[in-house]
Structure 1
């Protein structure tokens, strides 16, 4: 290059605009600067090859349900716009009637616990555009009957049926009472741990309703003080069965709409301690029921004849540790059924005859099926999601019901999730990975071919370029005992391998969980990247007990929660501490809920490894937690006292050396404030110094208003001061 050309080139560089690297801030994170665009309340229609999306105008406070064509992605129509109906302040969620001519719309939703809520409901007739409010008071879990003529719902622990034509209401149950009897709605522990609220189901002809009745009279009560703004706090009391205590007595009932009669089903031939699922078969008079013993290691699938009440055992599974409930039970036209189970050591798909005889194990291999999407009766293909392409990834597959012609439908490596059209000819794929923001595309179900992009979030990706974000580096850490643990690490963008960096570790570690996954950033990820911009290395390790690597890897922690998981975090921290670019004297750890239990134990048992820990909403003794979750993994305290006590952080406070920040919400109905209060008392009596923060009237999520911003500011300052 000549001197003249070189001089001119340097002049051009000097005159180009300089774009300074922007820094992530907590304010930007919690004000939603980095939020992705999505497809809210995406529903695939069942009767037409179309789908609906709830599109909201947050500024105007309005929402509309829009109908789209699967094949073209073209908008067909707006089914309803809240702006056109003065009574409809907003649309929180919606469901269609079976014939898809009416919509049940929830508004003014008020949450009770994590999943449960009451709301004002309206029935919208698409053809006439008429909107009718369902009752005068907020109700729970309304659903259409199969014949489209009626709606069942729950109100104040009783079940009702509303006739759409006559507008008459029939009360099915009369004994519902707060903190005593619940009909058709789950109690607290079922909602939280079996993850469902609606404990009733219409049959295929709309003439019968099966429901579970909960008698929680003998369940111990728990009371939280709600401070609000009043002169005196208000006590909030609810039934909460702690490990080893009494659960609700559950019973199964079938209501006959035509005769207005209810029949109690005798399940005495089976161990029906828990009834975690009920579901009608295609045969309208056959009800399937999943039953579990208290240890949750003996599962029965039972068919009930709705006319006679006769019960027939169809399937039985036993496990040395525990069995996870499946939501994938699908009845085919001949009443054979699809079932998922980890009976061979990995979660796979099985096809059973209606008698319970195994017809075919459809999928197999040392990998897990992570979602079941459905069965196409025309092509006789099953569609599912799995981790066959690595346990941190998710892909969508097609396979014949005979277990042949398996085809991977998603070529991009990362996290893929499908919503199929009713004909199973198309699917909307939701894809992301650690470098690609969530995007939505239309794909062909035959071969996965991408037809069209729906939402790409390219604007977000472009905007993030100014931040020069550090990337997650995925790896596998091998511990001294030979266990291979998935991990990721985020290094500062200006990383210098000759320097020594402090390390901040994050984990959750609960049974079957996963934090090391190849997916787009969460709110926490942006926080971690902010810390990386400020000179910290952030790392995450999924130890033994976590999911999607087979039953043996997951269930090794059985009866000893907090033993092997803590050993793995300490081992991983020591390995990371030996890296040339890590300051082994400056390693911290953070976790929330189960992760808080873990970070507390790591700081105490690994006091020669960890300099500091943050524990948010931690369990500090499993004796304080609920029956269903705790006993699934630990049995009862009466049976396994040492398992409870040897890994309780409360019993190891004398080992505290590092800096410890303890955080809890006072209205945490899940992990009670009791956990933190008794941990604090133990620390005080051991004369240990620590920091703590209590958030008034905040639940397990600790959010609302500026709460998250204040909390993450506190945690960031603690890290800067102590690490």
Structure 2
């Protein structure tokens, strides 16, 4: 008996000693780079399919270069080009090769405009002659080689131009461009944000014609933001003014045009009735342009073929849905101009093959799972490569299948998240794998059957670093809520004791088609959750109705009433979790960012019998304040659906606020404008409700820069420690 007691005591001392050796994570660790992972540098496959290129910078020599590597061996083969070989250009930030890979576009002095758009100074470097040619002496946007590599299209002052590299002339295609009135060849703010489209022009196969979209935004209301600058350097605020169509307001009038290089004539194309032109793309036929249009409700997308000889448009395919139709970049044309298309028409997102006349040839993928990424089609093997949720909605696998929908092959399907980057000829792919237990691991595979060739990076150093800390497993499970099996993750304290009671903090985003519960490794917030767990909190996340990857009906059930069912699910999930003997029912909090901030605000206003504390970062507080394309896709217009907008707006429920509420916003948020929070703040003041709030001057929707993120997370941590 004594020996047993001694042995138990020794084990206890050893275990305590081991625990004592574990580090406690801090916010300085999280935002100071302690957990920085190794990533694959942004690589680009060369057309030969056996080599890839990577941009590298040599600090010692201040040399920027692009190196060529062999896929199979990973060994450096040669230097494709280097800044030291270029007279008159000390360096470059971006590069893009011409189709035949004999020229490269080099970008310098690159400045960010909005989320995806940039501007800068560009040069063309000829890899054969070593000649460096400026595209323009001015700052330009959206530079793009013609397919023959002899011309470069670009936009300057909202007008479309191209550089003729043979004659060294700059030819102006349009002349009516004007800031905040007319845009040619690039998109307005709302197209860039919601359709992920920046460059709105495209060369045909023979470089004889340019198709482009023209935006007339004269009737679109202007939005302005005061920017306060750096203390001591700016005596007066500056003002950013741009066109931003809010729900129910006027959009830019968009039109399609084709410019003929030889005649220098521009032809306007009649596409019938439409509101948006979210995609344009030349087909394999130099005389056939494909264009996608959609109505204002976005519940009908039409694919048109435009004859570039007659300038006549013909609808080829119409996709319709009672709710909305997603627009993507998956359209791929085969040699015979038949095409690959993705659709939710059978209730799940799948791949379809259509004839050149729009007649359905066959549905390629089928099943109660989603295609989450279409990688492309290989003509030599007649196979299609894609990523999907066939192994469960929280996982991703990489597969291939032939064009008839037969002979499916699993290429990378370990439980977790697999994503692929294929070589140009689909000989190889680099697979990125991660899970809740494994940081990103990069491996090279043969694309034919998925055979692994070599390990590139396994981030073992990061995993070793994580193991030094007192972290708990991130447990993925499901929870039955309101008749639906919802995905959930949970993090408990490392010394979790089921006989004790713990406060619960719920995180969610909840936006249409989103996913917050996935089998992936830690992000910055996950390290924060570990820190909170070590201070005695349980953190959980539930993906409710309206989120993605569980089929069309699950995703689109929230149509016209954003926030209603999502709040019901978060509230019910909190109640169910609160029934656990180890959760304190009186100490349940919720937080979120953007759409998640909208939801957290609604939770503390409408469900404060369940939630006692909430943090809302950059929230939409009324969908009337948000942009047309996103909002009306799910809500139609405020004129058509006023109750849908107002009944679920946090502003409509300020009188119900009870509990602890922290509201945070960036003063320079061009996406979810600070107006959202200011309107809510005023409503709360007039309702005589007390709450905490913080505005970060000049910060955009991401609220970052310098010490900003560290300050923000210190603020939120302190608020939770004091109130939850």
Q: Do the structures match in fold with TM over 0.5?
A: yes
Distance apart, 1:397 and its partner CA: 0.4
Once residues 127 and 507 of structure 1 are traced to their aligned partners in structure 2, the CA distance between those partners, rounded to angstroms, is 53
What's the counterpart of residue 255 of structure 1? 259
Alignment of 1:600 onto 2:604: no
Distance apart, 1:60 and its partner CA: 8.0
Distance apart, 1:17 and its partner CA: 10
Alignment of 1:490 onto 2:454: no
Distance apart, 1:71 and its partner CA: 2.5
Q: Does the 8 Å CA contact 1:634/1:644 hold for their aligned counterparts? A: yes
TM-score (norm. length: structure 1): 0.96
Gaps of 5+ in 1: none
Distance apart, 1:126 and its partner CA: 2.7
Once residues 296 and 63 of structure 2 are traced to their aligned partners in structure 1, the CA distance between those partners, rounded to angstroms, is 47
Once residues 50 and 257 of structure 2 are traced to their aligned partners in structure 1, the CA distance between those partners, rounded to angstroms, is 37
| Correspondence list, 1:144-543, <5 A | 144-228=145-229, 229-268=233-272, 271-479=273-481, 481-543=482-544
Distance apart, 1:21 and its partner CA: 1.3
SS for the counterpart of 1:527 is: helix
The 1:687–1:13 alpha-carbon spacing in structure 2 relative to 1, beyond 3 Å, is closer
What's the counterpart of residue 101 of structure 1? 102
The 1:106–1:687 alpha-carbon spacing in structure 2 relative to 1, beyond 3 Å, is same
Distance apart, 1:485 and its partner CA: 0.8
SS for the counterpart of 1:681 is: helix
Q: Does the 8 Å CA contact 2:86/2:130 hold for their aligned counterparts? A: no
Alignment of 1:20 onto 2:11: no
**1:358-391 deviations in Å (ceiling 9; x for gaps):** 0000001111000111111111110000001000
What's the counterpart of residue 558 of structure 1? 559
Once residues 593 and 484 of structure 2 are traced to their aligned partners in structure 1, the CA distance between those partners, rounded to angstroms, is 24
Q: Does the 8 Å CA contact 1:326/1:341 hold for their aligned counterparts? A: no
Once residues 654 and 575 of structure 1 are traced to their aligned partners in structure 2, the CA distance between those partners, rounded to angstroms, is 27
Once residues 714 and 131 of structure 1 are traced to their aligned partners in structure 2, the CA distance between those partners, rounded to angstroms, is 51
Once residues 545 and 357 of structure 1 are traced to their aligned partners in structure 2, the CA distance between those partners, rounded to angstroms, is 32
Q: Does the 8 Å CA contact 1:19/1:466 hold for their aligned counterparts? A: no
Once residues 30 and 13 of structure 1 are traced to their aligned partners in structure 2, the CA distance between those partners, rounded to angstroms, is 32
What's the counterpart of residue 30 of structure 2? 29
Q: Does the 8 Å CA contact 1:143/1:153 hold for their aligned counterparts? A: yes
What's the counterpart of residue 661 of structure 2? 660
Distance apart, 1:81 and its partner CA: 3.8
Once residues 697 and 352 of structure 2 are traced to their aligned partners in structure 1, the CA distance between those partners, rounded to angstroms, is 48
Distance apart, 1:74 and its partner CA: 1.9
Distance apart, 1:125 and its partner CA: 2.6
What's the counterpart of residue 135 of structure 2? 134
Once residues 687 and 10 of structure 2 are traced to their aligned partners in structure 1, the CA distance between those partners, rounded to angstroms, is 66
SS for the counterpart of 1:708 is: helix
Distance apart, 1:257 and its partner CA: 1.2
Once residues 85 and 508 of structure 2 are traced to their aligned partners in structure 1, the CA distance between those partners, rounded to angstroms, is 47
Distance apart, 1:79 and its partner CA: 2.1
What's the counterpart of residue 577 of structure 1? 578
The 1:19–1:73 alpha-carbon spacing in structure 2 relative to 1, beyond 3 Å, is farther
Once residues 41 and 178 of structure 1 are traced to their aligned partners in structure 2, the CA distance between those partners, rounded to angstroms, is 33
Distance apart, 1:298 and its partner CA: 1.0
Distance apart, 1:702 and its partner CA: 0.8
Once residues 297 and 531 of structure 1 are traced to their aligned partners in structure 2, the CA distance between those partners, rounded to angstroms, is 43
Distance apart, 1:527 and its partner CA: 1.1
Once residues 60 and 721 of structure 1 are traced to their aligned partners in structure 2, the CA distance between those partners, rounded to angstroms, is 52
Distance apart, 1:90 and its partner CA: 5.2
CA RMSD of aligned residues (A): 2.1
SS for the counterpart of 1:437 is: coil
SS for the counterpart of 2:107 is: strand
What's the counterpart of residue 110 of structure 1? 111
Once residues 440 and 607 of structure 1 are traced to their aligned partners in structure 2, the CA distance between those partners, rounded to angstroms, is 45
SS for the counterpart of 2:440 is: strand
Once residues 588 and 205 of structure 1 are traced to their aligned partners in structure 2, the CA distance between those partners, rounded to angstroms, is 60
Distance apart, 1:53 and its partner CA: 2.1
Distance apart, 1:73 and its partner CA: 2.1
The 1:182–1:127 alpha-carbon spacing in structure 2 relative to 1, beyond 3 Å, is same
**1:616-660 deviations in Å (ceiling 9; x for gaps):** 110000001111000000000000000000000001011111100
Moved more, 46-55 or 148-157: 46-55
The 1:435–1:361 alpha-carbon spacing in structure 2 relative to 1, beyond 3 Å, is same
The 1:490–1:277 alpha-carbon spacing in structure 2 relative to 1, beyond 3 Å, is same
Distance apart, 1:356 and its partner CA: 0.4
What's the counterpart of residue 546 of structure 1? 547
Q: Does the 8 Å CA contact 1:560/1:634 hold for their aligned counterparts? A: yes
Once residues 565 and 249 of structure 1 are traced to their aligned partners in structure 2, the CA distance between those partners, rounded to angstroms, is 34
Once residues 256 and 33 of structure 2 are traced to their aligned partners in structure 1, the CA distance between those partners, rounded to angstroms, is 45
Once residues 60 and 652 of structure 1 are traced to their aligned partners in structure 2, the CA distance between those partners, rounded to angstroms, is 61
SS for the counterpart of 1:204 is: coil
SS for the counterpart of 2:439 is: strand
Q: Does the 8 Å CA contact 2:352/2:363 hold for their aligned counterparts? A: yes
Distance apart, 1:128 and its partner CA: 4.2
Q: Does the 8 Å CA contact 1:510/1:546 hold for their aligned counterparts? A: yes
Distance apart, 1:54 and its partner CA: 2.6
Once residues 112 and 61 of structure 2 are traced to their aligned partners in structure 1, the CA distance between those partners, rounded to angstroms, is 23
Aligned residues: 715
The 1:19–1:579 alpha-carbon spacing in structure 2 relative to 1, beyond 3 Å, is closer
Distance apart, 1:133 and its partner CA: 3.4
Moved over 6 A (4+): 9-14, 16-19, 58-61
What's the counterpart of residue 633 of structure 1? 634
Q: Does the 8 Å CA contact 2:616/2:664 hold for their aligned counterparts? A: yes
